[in-house]
Amino acid sequence: MDAALRALPPAPADSAPVRSEAALPAAPAGRGRAGRWLRLHRPQLRAALVGLVSLALFVAAWQVLTVNRVSFYVRFVNVPTPEAVLARAVIALRNPDFADHALMSCRRILFGFLLAGGLAVPLGLLMGRFRLLREIAFPICEVLRPIPAIAWVPMAIMLWPTNEGSVVFITFLGSFFPILINTLQGMAMVDPVLVRAARCLGAGEAALFREVYLPASLPQIFTGLTVGMGVAWVSLIAAEMISGQFGIGYFTWEAYALVQYPDIVLGMITIGVLGLASSFAIRLIGRLAMPWSAGR
């Protein structure tokens, strides 16, 4: 056998030894996790990128129109530039009075919105379940719902002894009706097959509300909460401009009275940012309350 082995031709000089797969360098674990995260969140990242680009284009158009003092039907002569608003924002953020205005508006929104949601959601569920209650309360709601919040300001001043109470009341009215109508719509969309199945399994009225009506209505309820939050901010700013003494609405109106145009735009941007943050908070709570619809 030794002679046979010596008779075999030698291996080529340029052939490299074959390495096993275990000897190959493995890809970094961090790079794999990052790639997987990017693949999972690609739609959200794309949406965020498109949003940033659209905001940048909006600010660029604002800059061009204000720097050139464009006056073609719509006048941009007195509109401040983005640089002027940014400079004023830096000053305002260092001033505790501006933070007090923002916190006051947030507190009014919180009180009015929580009152509206705490009343409108149970009332909507009960009206959707019991026809007699719906026939009694729905006509009253339909008569009051088209009245704008601004029209309620004189009545609110007469009803409430303080400006704070009247502003919170107007905020409550602004968010109450969207929440109520969407809750009613959610109750109307409940599948009656689910109700009959629950009754066949021995569910009582309380169990029906807890296990069938409320979960099935939650998507419409959170839609109403989101819409109601937007209307609440509109109502609040209108009330603060007319009868308030503090808040972002009062800050914006005072800036107009004092001919401080950068402060007007700063107040408007602050209202938009606070409204966006509050709506995002409601959507986040909705995802936590409805994990089955998180992928929609």
Is the domain of 96 the same as that of 242?
A: yes
pLDDT at residue 78, as a whole number = 85
d(CA 250, CA 257): 10
pLDDT of residue 244: 67
Same domain, 188 and 223: yes
Are residue 213 and residue 193 in the same domain, yes or no?
yes
Dihedral Cα 245, 249, 251, 255, nearest 10 deg = -120
State the DSSP string of 35-47. HHHHHHTHHHHHH
Q: What is the pLDDT of residue 6?
A: 54
Last residue of a domain, which of 79, 100, 135? 79
pLDDT value of position 10: 56
Are 73 and 100 members of one domain?
A: no
Number of domains in the chain: 2
Q: Is residue 23 one of the residues assigned to a domain?
A: no
pLDDT of res. 72: 81
Encode the chain (296 residues) as per-residue pLDDT tens digits. 455 445 555 545 444 454 544 455 555 555 677 777 777 778 878 888 898 999 999 999 989 988 888 888 888 888 899 999 999 999 988 888 899 999 999 999 999 999 999 999 999 999 998 999 999 999 999 999 999 888 888 888 888 888 888 889 999 999 999 999 999 999 999 888 888 888 888 888 888 888 888 888 999 999 999 999 999 999 998 888 877 678 899 999 999 888 889 999 999 999 999 999 999 999 999 988 888 765 55
pLDDT value at position 5? 46
| pTM, entire model | 0.80
Q: Tell me what pLDDT residue 241 has.
A: 84
* Helix residue ranges, H only, the chain: 2-7, 29-40, 42-67, 82-93, 96-129, 131-144, 153-159, 163-188, 192-200, 205-208, 214-243, 248-257, 261-289
Q: Which pLDDT value is given to residue 239?
A: 87
Angle at 103 between CA 102 and CA 107, to 5 degrees: 120
In a domain? residue 25: no
Same-domain check for residues 130 and 192: yes
> Which helix (H) or strand (E) segment is 75 a member of?
strand 74-75
CB neighbour burial string for 9-24, b if at least 16 within 10 angstroms, e if fewer: eeeeeeeeeeeeeeee
Q: What is the residue range of 41's domain?
A: 33-79
Residue 157: alpha-carbon gap to chain centroid: 30
Residues 95 and 57 in one domain: no
User: Is residue 37 in some structural domain?
Assistant: yes
Predicted local distance difference test score (pLDDT) of residue 1 = 46
CATH code: domain of residue 245: 1.10.3720.10
pLDDT at 39: 75
CA Rg, the chain, in Å? 31
